[in-house]
Amino acid sequence: MSLIKSISGIRGTIGGPAGEGLTPLDVVKFTSAFATFLKSKADGDVCAPRLKLAVGRDARLSGAMVDRLVVGTLQGMGVDVLETGLSTTPTTEMTVIDGHCDGGIIITASHNPKHWNALKLLNSKGEFISDAEGKEVLRLAESLNEMADGDVCVPSVNYAEVDELGQVTVEEDWIDRHIERVLGLKLVDTEAIRKANFKVAVDAVNSTGGIAIPRLLRRLGVEQVVELNCEPTGHFAHNPEPIPQNLTQISDCVRENHCDLGIVVDPDVDRLALVCENGEMFGEEYTLVSVADYVLQHTPGNTVSNLSSSRALRDVTRRYAGCEYNAAAVGEVNVTTLMRQTGAVIGGEGNGGVIYPELHYGRDALVGVALFLTLLAKEGERLKVKGERLSVSELKKRYPEYVISKNRKDLTPDMDVDALLAKVAKLYNGMAGVEKVTTIDGVKIDFADGWVHLRKSNTEPIIRIYSEAATEARANELAQGVMQQI
């Protein structure tokens, strides 16, 4: 499997011959290039201190190996390292911010299976580097392979002399610090959650969510926590992507233990999926929708999600006077960029990624859990006065009902995807029944009663074909209609 280099980081499979997948050589090369890039930004500032980077990892089996390569390479580049050990993506982002670092590297392949790993690169704000910055890092990495003057390698990367090697500081309490920051948010009401006496099941797919989420719940006042796959062994109990077909175990667990809610996170804990008290899926798309509804009740403002996310966020946003919804290209950095531009008070992605700027600009399952439980507790208390009870499934009924159909097509080396997407855009632009064609990220076709979005994946060699409508049948019909035209 070749490396995938995108806005989502440097990602590949572990093992195999050099030149294929994410090998130790690749880890050293891209870490060196990233450190060089950050140093170049500081050039000219004679007072600039030595660079310091935060490094954290999820619990996947190759994590410790890749971590040692990353940390050693940074030391060799003369960069100091704040080593957090087992962590989460949002925790590492918070470490960059609160630890006053110049950037960070998160070692995780997110929802990919256990034989994958990746390097996610953060700037000094604890946010993913931009597409342009990523391309510069890739250019520097490739310079390590360039040859000049016969067999003499002339790289643009320089390593430190022995007296200038970087120093490593190990601090493994950053998850606790992250939790403290979440608890301190104005819209997180621990007393309301404690009074609600929730019973909550957690599936952390044997990664670092098993450390963070149960600990967070107990600090929020949830005393009854049923832990499922919470040992951070890296031996994922099921496919780690938190989608319905992979969540049958927690669905049964919620029903059998009479839980009020089920919580599921992916290996690096930036995606949050919820399970209703009856074992049915709340829906990844509705994680952001429900949290946004709560935030907008108290702090009206704009919202942002990506083009492949549900219309439900747009509909809920328009319930509040003066609030506007905007759609960004897929990719967290694209969403956060548009959130800043529009002054959004809440945003994220329909894959269960909640971005709450009051804490930081990054998808964060911990803040999503805290805000959702506060919403459920407060609304439940309000209804209790009327003699009614609010369940998670009843809460779901408050939101517009949409169904997203997610399909994919594997790419072949000879497939000209850009030309294909350009033809689709031209075909549907101005067609009867089409409200809008958007081409900022692949092609999105908006119809009156739904939409279809075709785009190349940032993380896998596939074309994603997403469609949405009020029913699954209609969503599939819209998608098939576009595919037949192709």
| 110 given a catalytic annotation | yes
Instruction: State the catalytic residue, choosing from 6, 62, 87, 110.
Output: 110
126 CB contacts (<8 Å, ≥6 apart)?
92, 93, 94, 95, 96, 97, 104, 360, 361, 362
Specify which residues 119 forms β-bridges with: 10, 107
Per-residue CA distances from 438 to 270, 407, 445, 446 (Å): 27, 19, 7, 8
Q: How far apart are CA 250 and CA 227, in angstroms?
A: 10
Distance of CA 106 to the CA centre of its chain: 12
Active site residues: 110
